[in-house]
Structure 1
Amino acid sequence: MSDTQRPARSLAKIAGIVAAATLISKLFGLFRQQAIAAAFGVGPAFGAFNFAYVIPGFLLILLGGINGPFHSAIVSVLAKRKREEAAPIVEAITTLVVGILLILMVGMLLFAEPLIHLVAPGLFVTPEQFAQTGEPLAVYETLVQTREIAILQFRIMAPLAVLAGLIGIGFGTLNASDQYWLPSISPIFSSLSVLLGLGGLALYLGSDITAPENAWLGGAVLAGSVVAGAGVQWLVQLPVQWRSGLGTLRPRFNFRQREVREVINIMGPATFSSGMMQINVWTDLFFASFIPNAAAAVSAMGYASLLVQTPLGILSNVILVPLLPVFSRLAAPGDWPDLKQRIRQGLMMTAVTMLPISALMMALAVPISRVVYERYAFTEEDAFFTASVLVAYALGMFFYLSRDVLVRVFYALEDAQTPFRISIVNIFLNALLDFLLVRPLGAVGLVLATVGVNLISLLVMLWVLHRRLNGLPLGQWSRITFLLTLGSGVSGAIALFTLRLTEGWLGTEGFLILLAQLAIAGAAGFLVFFIYAKQLRLPELELFVDRIMQKLSRRRSE
C-alpha cells in the first residue's frame, strides 16, 4: 500500500498535515476542558469522572490512540501489502478484537463497583474511618457522592472498550493507505460531543447546572458525551475506509492467517510497553482517592496537567522531531563524538525553552489558572488550588522533556531494553514517593512524586550513556544548565514583581485585567531571560530562534 515513487517532500507534507490537525484538536480540547471547569469546577461530577475514566481512558489511549499499539501494528503490517490484500486482514483483526473487547465491556458493566474500588479504594472508607481524619461530615458526604457517580459513569463508559479497538484499527488502516488528515483531526469530534452535551445540559438546567443536587445528571451527561464522541470518531472513518477498499464490518474468522498473527505478535509487547505510563497515572489516582476531598484533588490535577502539557506537546515536536533521524544516523561508534554534540544540543535546547517557561508558569500560576478556567462553577478558590498544583507540575517540565530526549538516544542505539527497565522501576518508585508525599502535601505531593521519578530517570539515563559512549562532558553540561536555571529564576522573579505592580495599579478582578497582567508580566520575564541567555552565547539558543523564525517566514510566504 506504499508508493515508492512518492516524492521525498511528501514527508514534510505529512508532518504538516498531522501538526495542523493536532493543533486544531488540542485547541478544541482546551475549549472542552474550560467548559467542564465552568460546569463542574472541582466538584464531585468531574472528580468522579477522573476516577471512572481511568480504565476506559486507558483502553482508549492505549488501543485507540495515534501511535498506540493497534495503530502501529496495523500500519507496519498493511504498509507492506497491496491494497486488495488489506480488506480480509482488517476484517479478521476487527472480528477478533471486537469479540475480545465485547467480553471485556460486559465485565466492566457487571463489575463496575469492584473495579472502581480497585482504582480508588479511598472512596470506599467507612464513616468511622473517615471520622479519624477530623474532616467535617459534609466532606464525607461529598466523598460518598463522588463514589456513586463514579460507578454510574464507569458503567456508561463501558462501551469505550469496544470503540477504542475500532478507532485504533481505523487509524492504522487509513494511515497505511496514506490518509492522515481524518485520523489526526477525528479527536475533535470527542471534544465537540462534550461541548454539545454540556451546552444542552446548561440549556436544560440554566443557572442550576452548578447546584450540588444536579451533580448526578451532570456526571451522567459528561460520561455519555464522551462515549458519543468516541462513537462519532469511529463512524466518520467507516465511509472512507469502505470507499478505499480497506475492509467492512463483515465478520471473518481466519485468525490463523499469517498477517493476522503478525499484527497480534506486534500488538502484544507494544501494548504492555505503552501501558507503563498509564500505570503511573493509575497509581497517582489510587493514592489521590485517600485525600479527604478527593474530587477536588483529582480535578485540580487534571486542570493543571492540561496547562503544562500544552507547551510540552508543542515544544517537544520542535525539539525532538528534527533530532530523531540525526540520532539514528550517528549510532555507529565512529560517529559517537558527533552524537554527543547532538545530545548536548537536544538537552540544551530543552533547557533554553523549558526552564524559563517553568519559572514563569510557577510565578504566574494564579493568573494563568484564573484566566483559563475561572468562570461559573470554577471559583477563585478553585483557581488558587489549581495554581498550587500547577506550580508542582511546572517544576518538572525540564526533567520530563530531557528524559524524552535521552529515551530517543537509546532507541537510536537500538536499545529499547534500558528505558523499559527504568520504566518498570519507576512504577514502584512512583508508588513509594506517592505514599510518602500524599499525606503531608496532598495533590501537590502526588505531582512532586512524578517530578522526582522523572528526575531520577534522567540522571540514571545520563549515567548509562556516560558509560556506554565512553564519557559525556557532564560537568560542562551541568554548569550551563545551572546558569540557565539561575537566569530562569531571575526571569520568574521579575515576572512576579511585575505582576504585583500591575495588581496594585489595576486590581485583581476582571478577565481582561487578568489577561493584561499576565501578558505584561510574562513578556517582562521572557525579555529578561532572553537578554540573560544571549550573554551566554549558546549556539542552541541561536538555533532555536532561527528555527522559529524560519517557520514564521514560511507561513508569511504561504
Structure 2
Amino acid sequence: MKLTKKSVKSNLHFLKGKLNHQFIKNVITVGLVSLLIKALGFYKELVIAQNFGLSEILDTFLIAILIPGFISTVFLSSYRNVFIPNYISELKQKGNIKSFQATSFLVTISLGLFFILVSYLFSDVYLEIFFAGHTESYYNLIKLQLHYILPCLIFWAISSLLTGLLNIDNEYFFASFGSLFMTLSIIICLIFFKEVLKEKVLAVGMLIGSFLDLLFLIGVSLKRKIIHIGRPDFKSDNIRILIKQVPAKISSSLINGLNPIVDQYFSAQLIVGSIAALNYGLKIPAFIIGLIGIALGNVLLPYFSSQAVENHQKTYKLLQKMLLYNFIGCTILALGLILFSEPIVSLVYERNAFKPEDTQIVYRVQQMYLLQIPFYVLGMIMNRYLTAINKNNFLVITSTVSLLLNIILNFILVKAMGLYGLALGTSIVSLINTVIIYIYIKRLNSLQNV
C-alpha cells in the first residue's frame, strides 16, 4: 500500500471512527499497567542476574519452568482464547451463562490436574530425552524445583479464565495485574530468604506468587459479580462450537510451544551458561513484544469477537489498517533497539555476577531476537483475528510449518553462528509465519466476498 499524506489521514480517520473511545482507553490502560508490571519484571531479572549470573541454578530453574510454562501457554491459555469469542456469543444470544462458566472452569481445572500428574510421573523421561549428558545432581536440581512449580498449574488454570471474564466485562485495569504478586514474591524471596530457601528460592517464590495472583483475581471478580457457576452443560450450541475449536487451538499452541523447547535443546548442547545467555538475550525483545502484545492482544480478542458478529467486512478492513501502522511503528522501534543493543545490555545487566564478557555474548543474541518484533506483533494481531472468527484450523498448519523451519534453521545456523544462530532462526521463522497467515486471511476474505 502506497503511503501518501492524504492516505495517512484517511486511514487514521478510519481507525478513529472504528476504534471507539472505550477500545482506545482499554488499550492504553492495559499498556500502562503492563509497562509497570514489565518494569517490575525487569527489576526481578536484575536481582536474578546479580545473584546467579550465567549459573547452573538459573539454567536448571529455566528448564524446570519450561514444561509448566508450556502447559499453561498451550492448554490453559488456548482454552481461554477460544472461550472468549464463544462466551461473547452466548452473552449476545442470552444463553445459559452459569452452565457455560461451570463447564469451562471444569475443563481447565481438569487439564491442570491431569498435567500435574503427567509432568510428575514423566519428568525423568523428559529430562533424559531432551537434556541428556548432565550429572545426576543437575537433574536432581531440576526435579526439586519442578515439584514446587507444578501446583502453580491449578492456580494458573483458574486465573486464566478469570482474566478472560474480566476482559469481556471491560475490566482491563485490575485484570492486567495478573502476574504482579508472582514477580514481587520472587523478588522478596531472593532479597530476604535466599539463604533459607537456597536452590529452591526461585521456585518457591513462583509458587507463593501464583497463589496470591489467583486470590487477587478472585477478589476482583467477586466484586464485579461476574462469576456465575451453575451445572456444567456440554450440549449447548456455543459449548459445542467451543469444544470443536479447542483441539485446533491447542494443536496450534502445542506446536508453537515446542519452539522454545527445541531452542533449549540446541542451546543445552553448547557450553554451560548458553541457556541463561539465550534467556537474557530474549528478555528485552520479550519485554517489547509482551508490552505491545498484551496491550493489543488482550483487548483485540473480545473486540474482534464482538465486531465480527456484527459486520465481518468492516472488521477485516480495520485489521488491514492495524497491520499497516503496527508494522511501521514496530520496525522503527526494532531498528533503534538493535543499534543500541550493547549499551542497553551493559546498563541493564552488567553488575556483580554478570561480567563484561557476558555482555558481549548477550547483546548479540538480543540483536538477533529484536529482528522479530514487527513480525511477531503482526502475527499476534492476525492470530487474534482468526481466533475471533473461529478459524483456528489454519493456525495448526502455520504452526507446523514454523516448527519444521525452526528445527531446520537451528541445525544450519547453529553450525554457522553458534548460539546467535538460534536467536536469528527464531526471527526468520516469525517473518515467514506472519507472511503465510496474511496471505491466508486475504484469500479468506476474497472467497467470502465472491
Task: Output aligned runs, 1:519-558, within 5 Å.
Answer: none
Match of 1:108 among 119, 123, 126: 119
Which residue of structure 2 lines up, in the alignment, with residue 258 of structure 1? 236
Identify the residue that residue 280 of structure 1 maps to in structure 2.
259
State whether residues 112 and 151 of structure 1, in contact with CA within 8 Å, keep that contact through their aligned partners in structure 2: yes
* 1:441 match: 417
Distance 1:388 1:420 in 2: 32
* Alpha-carbon spacing, 1:381–1:144, altered in 2? closer, same or farther (3 Å): farther
Q: Name the counterpart of 2:7.
A: none
Q: For residues 346 and 353 of structure 2, what CA distance do their matches in structure 1 show?
A: 12
Deviates more, 1:388-397 or 1:70-79: 70-79
Q: 1:265 to 1:168 in 2, by over 3 A?
A: farther
2:56 counterpart residue number: 44
The equivalent residue for 2:10 is none
Q: Which runs of structure 2 are paired with 1:322-471 in the superposition (5 Å)?
A: 343=320, 346-347=323-324, 349=325, 352-404=328-380, 417-460=393-436
Q: Distance in 1 between matches of 2:175 and 2:212?
A: 12
- 1:199 correspondence with 2:179: no
* TM, length-normalised to structure 1: 0.64
What is the one-letter code of the residue matched to 1:258? Answer: S
Alignment gaps of 5+ in structure 1: 1-7, 126-139, 206-216, 471-558
Q: Which 10-residue stretch deviates more, 412-421 or 24-33?
A: 412-421
Change (3 A) 1:38 1:429: same
1:404 to 1:61, Cα distance in 2 relative to 1, 3 A: closer
Q: 2:236 is aligned with what amino acid?
A: R
The match for 2:6 is none
Q: CA deviation at 1:43?
A: 0.7
TM-score by structure 2 length? 0.77
Aligned to 1:80: 91
Conserved 8 A contact 1:190-1:229: yes
Aligned match for 1:232, one of 200, 212, 231? 212
Q: Is the 8 A contact 2:52 2:58 kept in 1?
A: yes
Size of the aligned set, in residue pairs, is: 420
User: 1:162 corresponds to which residue?
Assistant: 154
Higher RCO (C-alpha 8 Å, min separation 6): 2
Percent sequence identity over aligned pairs: 20
Contact 1:124–1:147 (8 Å) recurs in 2? no
Deviation at 1:163, TM superposition (A): 1.9
Deviation at 1:219, TM superposition (A): 3.7
Larger-gyration structure (1/2):
1
The alignment partner of 1:377 has SS state of coil
* Aligned amino acid, residue 452 of structure 1: I
Distance 2:232 2:69 in 1: 30
CA contact (8 A) 1:69 1:274 kept: no
Contact (CA 8 Å) 2:52, 2:353: kept in 1 or not? yes
Report the alpha carbon displacement of residue 200 of structure 1 after superposing the two structures with TM.
1.7
Q: Which amino acid aligns with 1:232?
A: L
Structure 2: distance between partners of 1:409 and 1:70: 15
Q: Find 1:290's aligned residue among 269, 276, 279.
A: 269
How big is the shift at 1:254? 4.1
CA deviation profile, 1:118-159 (whole Å, cap 9, x unmatched): 4xx2x322xxxxxxxxxxxxxx7xx66543322221222111
Q: Distance in 2 between matches of 1:311 and 1:292?
A: 28
Task: Rate the CA distance shift 1:264–1:189 in 2: closer, same or farther, 3 A.
Answer: farther
CA distance 1:256–1:198, change in 2 (3 Å) = same
Contact 1:93 1:260 in 2 (8 A): no
**What is the 5 A alignment of 1:8-23?**
9-23=21-35
| Offset at residue 85 of structure 1 (A) | 5.5
Q: Equivalent residue for 1:124?
A: 132
Q: 1:188 deviation in Å?
A: 0.9
Paired with 2:387 and 2:148, the residues of 1 have a C-alpha distance of 40
Match of 1:500 in 2: none
Whether 2:309 is the aligned partner of 1:301: answer no
- Alignment correspondent of 2:4: none
Counterpart secondary structure, 1:378: coil
Matching residue's letter, 2:257: Q
Measured after TM superposition, the shift of residue 100 of structure 1 is 4.3
Q: Matched residues in 2 for 1:314 and 1:77: separation?
A: 26
> Alpha carbons of 1:457 and 1:64: their partners in 2 closer, same or farther (altered >3 Å)?
closer
User: 2:109 — aligned with what?
Assistant: 98
Question: Which deviations, in whole Å up to 9, do the C-alpha atoms of 1:464-498 show, x marking residues without a partner?
Answer: 6788899xxxxxxxxxxxxxxxxxxxxxxxxxxxx
Q: Name the SS for the 2:120 alignment partner.
A: helix
Deviation for aligned residue 1:186: 2.2
Give distance in 1, aligned partners of 2:238 and 2:439: 41
Q: 1:9 to 1:360 in 2, by over 3 A?
A: closer
How far apart, in 1, do the equivalents of 2:28 and 2:168 lie? 17
